[in-house]
């Protein structure tokens, strides 16, 4: 019999079911446990089981470096001993795709064998993806099997940065290495090292030993703490360690403000300060200061292969009142028809930028440099004042390349939730993990400027982070959200899925002895106070 109305409702139900399946697939489909989420993921049926005698193909394109790296990590992370073999029939195959040498892109295919291809760097990232999948599939028996999948991946941004302030509090090599490990795990690639500030100078300079011997004394809480700093040997060790993880280390020597530690060591270079910020500046017009800083930067340049130096340039106005009465500065202003102290500041910044450029380095600076008139070619601006979006617009309009690191949500000295007490909030606002994950918001997108936005960076300022526990707590798990914001294109995943993928990360943090903020069980790790609880 023919029942038109019945057919009609069957069709409706069928369509509805299809719709529900599709909707369900969209929102609840199981994602692979990888952060940052890859560009394309095609799951296949079948599993690859890691056996005791897994073989790794020798990577002749980099004299076995990639193979050895994978071998070491399989052993240290999973207790799996992989044998390196010269033949093409290894379980883990590595191939050097003919693409740019420093390309981040990679392919990872897990089937009856595991194939990774890309540049050496791409293969490194393919390995991170594999390790994350394996970590999430660890079992008590030690046997690890992973589902078949084909992944093609490449990053959204070339600059995926994290800054650590070691002037206000000093953490040391072990802590930095652990941070670099986690950065690499989340495919972050720039470590911006804030090594000098008012509270302490932390990088050895051979020509001016008092910078560390005197300038290194004290920190933000204890002005009498014996000098803490990195020797040049330490710096080289960290740079090498980072390079092995495809992370560029960018040094910052903050000038002409934030310079109290310099002035303590070499008062002769001081430009004075203000009542609230005594001895805040280096003298902005003396040639001897430029000569001193040139010597310093030459040693810095020799230590860091990045070929970029961050000269700070922030918050000079906090403590430049003394410039109003300094005879040399006043004479300079008169001679040059300068009308304000900002002109003096810009003069100094330009001289130092020229010095850095003469060393064949890119000039990096906080967004105060946007009005200094530096050439756009060879300069990079760090937009940090979230309350001054016009500064970002100005930088882009003028043609500068920019790294986005606005306080909210990318300053990790801001707290992560409303009820955290000890870190920063601004007008009740803070830096919750969801905002980090969603960064940059649509309002900061503009097709016109897209190629000037080099990337994003989070900054860990440490006035209120005085110990390892608190450093961990402020960094994790936001670091994971940062990695995904910097790498994955918007729309590749959603926040709920991200949280799902975060779950296995908690266990990994725990296993690495991190005192992290447990977003799923906040009570389990109470907020550590600023001054107590070294982990």
315 is annotated as an active-site residue: yes
Q: How far apart are CA 13 and CA 11, in angstroms?
A: 5
Residue 305 is classified by DSSP as T
**Least distance in Å: CB of 203 to ligand TNX?**
17
Closer Cβ to ligand TNX, 315 or 354, answer by number: 315
H or E element in which residue 322 lies: none
Q: How far apart are CA 291 and CA 287, in angstroms?
A: 6
Catalytic one of 73, 237, 299, 315: 315
Closer Cβ to ligand TNX, 153 or 252, answer by number: 252
Closer Cβ to ligand TNX, 62 or 315, answer by number: 315
From residue 384, how far is each of 169, 405, 475 by CA, in Å? Answer: 21, 5, 18
- Give yes or no for a contact between 311 and 365, defined as CB atoms under 8 angstroms apart: yes
**Least distance in Å: CB of 316 to ligand TNX?**
11
Closer Cβ to ligand TNX, 461 or 509, answer by number: 461
Phi, psi of 476 (to 5 degrees): -110, 135
Residue (of 265, 261, 313, 258) closest to 281 by Cα position: 258
Closer Cβ to ligand TNX, 60 or 387, answer by number: 387
Helix 495-511 with 478-487: angle, nearest 10 deg: 130
**Least distance in Å: CB of 57 to ligand TNX?**
46
**Least distance in Å: CB of 464 to ligand TNX?**
8
What would the DSSP string read from start to end of 113-164? SEEEEESHHHHHHHHHHHHHHHHHT--TTS-EEEEEEEEEE--S-SEEEEEE
- Give yes or no for a contact between 517 and 477, defined as CB atoms under 8 angstroms apart: yes
For tokens 């990639």, the residue is 66
Closer Cβ to ligand TNX, 246 or 424, answer by number: 424
Residue (of 364, 365, 378, 359) closest to 305 by Cα position: 359
SS3 sequence of 343-392: HHHHHHHHHHHHHHHHCCCEEEEEHHHHHCCCCCCCEEEEECCCCCHHHH
Phi-psi region of 13 (alpha: psi -120 to 50; beta: other; left: phi over 0): alpha
CB-facing half-sphere around the CA of 270: CA atoms within 13 A: 20
Phi, psi of 248 (to 5 degrees): -90, 135
Cβ-count burial 256-270 (b if 16+ within 10 Å, e if not) = bbbbbbbbbbbeebb
Closer Cβ to ligand TNX, 122 or 406, answer by number: 406
Interface contacts to ligand TNX, rule CB under 6 A: 314-315, 366, 384, 411, 413, 424, 461, 463
**Least distance in Å: CB of 130 to ligand TNX?**
37
Burial of 167 (0-12, 13-18, 19+ CB in 10 A): buried
Pairing mode, if any, of strands 106-110 and 144-153? antiparallel
Q: How far apart are CA 454 and CA 456, in angstroms?
A: 7
**Least distance in Å: CB of 53 to ligand TNX?**
52
Q: How far apart are CA 196 and CA 229, in angstroms?
A: 10
Closer Cβ to ligand TNX, 125 or 382, answer by number: 382
**Least distance in Å: CB of 387 to ligand TNX?**
12
**Least distance in Å: CB of 384 to ligand TNX?**
5
Closer Cβ to ligand TNX, 192 or 424, answer by number: 424
305 Cβ neighbours under 8 A, 6+ residues apart = 239, 243
Closer Cβ to ligand TNX, 33 or 406, answer by number: 406
**Least distance in Å: CB of 208 to ligand TNX?**
23
**Least distance in Å: CB of 425 to ligand TNX?**
11
- Residues involved in catalysis: 315
């Amino acid at each position: 019999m023919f029942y038109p109305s019945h057919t009609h409702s069957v069709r409706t139900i069928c369509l509805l079911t299809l719709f529900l399946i599709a909707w369900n697939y969209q929102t609840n489909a199981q994602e692979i446990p990888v952060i940052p989420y890859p560009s394309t993921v095609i799951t296949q049926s079948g599993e690859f089981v890691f056996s005791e005698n897994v073989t790794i193909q020798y990577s002749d394109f980099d004299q076995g470096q990639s193979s050895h790296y994978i071998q070491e990590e399989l052993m240290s992370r999973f207790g799996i001993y992989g044998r390196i073999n010269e033949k093409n029939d290894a379980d883990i195959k590595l191939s050097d795709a003919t693409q740019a040498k420093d390309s981040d892109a990679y392919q990872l295919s897990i089937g009856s064998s595991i194939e990774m291809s890309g540049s050496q760097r791409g293969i490194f990232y393919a390995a991170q993806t594999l390790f994350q999948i394996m970590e999430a599939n660890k079992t008590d028996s030690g046997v690890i099997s992973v589902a078949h999948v084909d992944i093609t991946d490449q990053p959204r941004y070339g600059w995926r940065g994290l800054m650590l302030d070691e002037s206000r509090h000093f953490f040391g090599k072990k802590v930095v290495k652990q941070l670099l490990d986690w950065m690499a795990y989340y495919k972050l690639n720039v470590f911006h090292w804030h090594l000098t500030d008012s509270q302490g100078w932390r990088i050895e300079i051979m020509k001016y030993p008092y910078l560390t011997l005197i300038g290194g004394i004290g920190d933000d809480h204890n002005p009498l703490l014996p000098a803490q700093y990195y020797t040049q040997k330490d710096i080289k060790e960290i740079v090498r360690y980072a390079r092995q993880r495809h992370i560029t280390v960018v040094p910052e020597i903050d000038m002409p403000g934030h310079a109290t530690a310099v002035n303590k060591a070499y008062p002769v270079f001081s430009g004075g300060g203000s009542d609230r910020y005594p001895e805040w500046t280096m003298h902005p017009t003396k040639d001897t200061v430029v000569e001193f800083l040139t010597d310093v930067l030459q040693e810095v340049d020799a230590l860091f292969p990045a070929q970029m130096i961050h000269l700070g340039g922030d918050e000079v106005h906090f403590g430049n009142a003394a410039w109003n009465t300094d005879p040399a500065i006043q004479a300079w202003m008169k001679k040059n028809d300068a009308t304000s102290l900002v002109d003096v500041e810009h003069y100094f910044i330009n001289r130092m930028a020229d010095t850095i450029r003469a060393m064949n380095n890119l000039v990096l600076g906080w967004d105060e440099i946007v009005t200094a008139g530096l050439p756009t070619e060879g300069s990079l601006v760090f937009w940090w004042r979230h309350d001054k979006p016009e500064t970002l617009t100005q930088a882009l309009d003028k043609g500068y390349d920019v790294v986005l690191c606005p306080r909210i949500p990318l300053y990790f000295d801001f707290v992560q939730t409303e009820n955290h007490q000890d870190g920063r909030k601004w007008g009740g606002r803070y830096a919750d993990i969801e905002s980090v994950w969603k960064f940059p918001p649509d309002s900061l997108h503009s097709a016109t400027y897209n190629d000037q936005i080099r990337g994003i960076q989070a900054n860990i300022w440490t006035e209120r982070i005085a110990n390892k526990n608190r450093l961990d707590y402020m960094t994790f798990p936001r670091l994971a959200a940062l990695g995904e914001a910097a790498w994955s294109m918007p729309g590749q995943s959603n926040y709920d899925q991200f949280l799902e993928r975060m779950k296995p990360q908690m266990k990994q943090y725990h296993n690495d002895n991190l005192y992290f903020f447990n977003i799923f069980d906040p009570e389990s790790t109470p907020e550590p106070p600023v001054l107590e609880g070294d982990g």
